[in-house]
Amino acid sequence: MGLLLALVAAASVVGICYGIALVRSEAKLPPDLVLALEVGSTRTTAVGSAVDRLGMRYAPLVLRMMGEKRVSRVRRRIDRAGNPGGLTVDRYAARRAVYGMLGFGGALVMLAKGQPLLAVLLVAFGLFWIEVGIWAAVRERRDAIERTLPDFLDVLAVVVSAGLGFRQALDRVSERYEGPWADELRITLRQMDMGVSRRQAFDELRRRNDSEQVAQLVTALQQGEELGAPIVDTLIGIATDMRRTDAQLARRRAARTVPKATMVITTFMVPGTVILLIAGFFLGSGTDFSSITGD
């Protein structure tokens, strides 16, 4: 009966959204919302899932409800996440529609059955599940880029010192690397090939990545270009600073880990060890527990 009520509620929500979409089907999206293929979508192969296909017809409605400013913020977050699974703004809207219908439909059923806690959890699922995935992808991508950057800069400095220009060296080294940082560099190089200035292309690189080290790299390169500093010295200096920062962060993480480990040992391991010792003592002593338990 509960499953039947959930299906009926979900079908009702789908029907309402479909009716609204039909009413507004003649309305055109603003030019900013029509953009379906993101600059960063070339970073991963687009993969259409069943959820995307199911919710794509409602994506324009969701985008209109979000508004231009929010869509722009979502686009930046998706770029920072590296377009995981070929995610674009349209697919984001499609998944929001499907998850929202499932979450709110299930919440109505739970409320009818008198379970408000489960209803709240289902509403939270419908609203934030896709956001959790994007946040995790942003964090994973940022960590991967920051691990790659120092070694990449060392190799780039060696190639530049061998006589190649910065643009050619960047192209040569990026071909030898794989992963999110190499993808970002290929996008930057492709933009420069299309006529975008190097300064603007690196500004876009900084905007697409939620990483302090990437921002530090772009700022240092632009300042070195303005001041006429040797590019090799600039690259080596940036790599040294990044490694120093990584070492400091590692020490801070280790310092925060010690109290946590102490708390776990004090809370769980010490009492467990004491219980094992006491139990072993009584079992080894041959004490008759029948007189205590009355059996």
Q: How confident is the model at residue 4 (pLDDT cuts 50, 70, 90)?
A: very low
Instruction: Compute the mean pLDDT over every residue in the chain, rounded to the nearest whole number.
Output: 75
Residue 211, exposed/middle/buried by CB under 10 A (0-12, 13-18, 19+)? Answer: buried
Q: How far apart are CA 193 and CA 129, in angstroms?
A: 38
Q: How far apart are CA 245 and CA 157, in angstroms?
A: 20
* pLDDT score, position 24: 40
Phi, psi (rounded to 5 degrees) for 29: -75, 150
Q: Where are the domains of the chain?
A: 2-141, 142-246
With contact defined as beta carbons under 8 Å apart, do 72 and 111 qualify?
no
Q: How far apart are CA 94 and CA 199, in angstroms?
A: 35
Which overall architecture, per CATH, does domain 142-246 show?
Up-down Bundle (1.20)
Average pLDDT on 69-88 reads 83
* pLDDT score, position 31: 40
pLDDT of 48 > 60? The answer is no
Contacts for 262 with CB less than 8 Å, ≥ 6 apart: none
Burial 129-159 (b: 16+ CB within 10 A, else e): ebeeebeebbeebbeebbebbbebbebbbeb
Q: How confident is the model at residue 141 (pLDDT cuts 50, 70, 90)?
A: confident
- Tokens read off for 46: 């687009």
Q: How far apart are CA 126 and CA 104, in angstroms?
A: 7
pLDDT tens digits for 162-187? 877 878 888 888 888 788 888 888 88
User: Count of CB atoms within 10 A of residue 45's CB?
Assistant: 9
- Tokens read off for 144: 């991967």
With contact defined as beta carbons under 8 Å apart, do 192 and 167 qualify?
yes
Average pLDDT on 276-289 reads 72
Question: Is the whole model's pTM more than 0.95, yes or no?
Answer: no
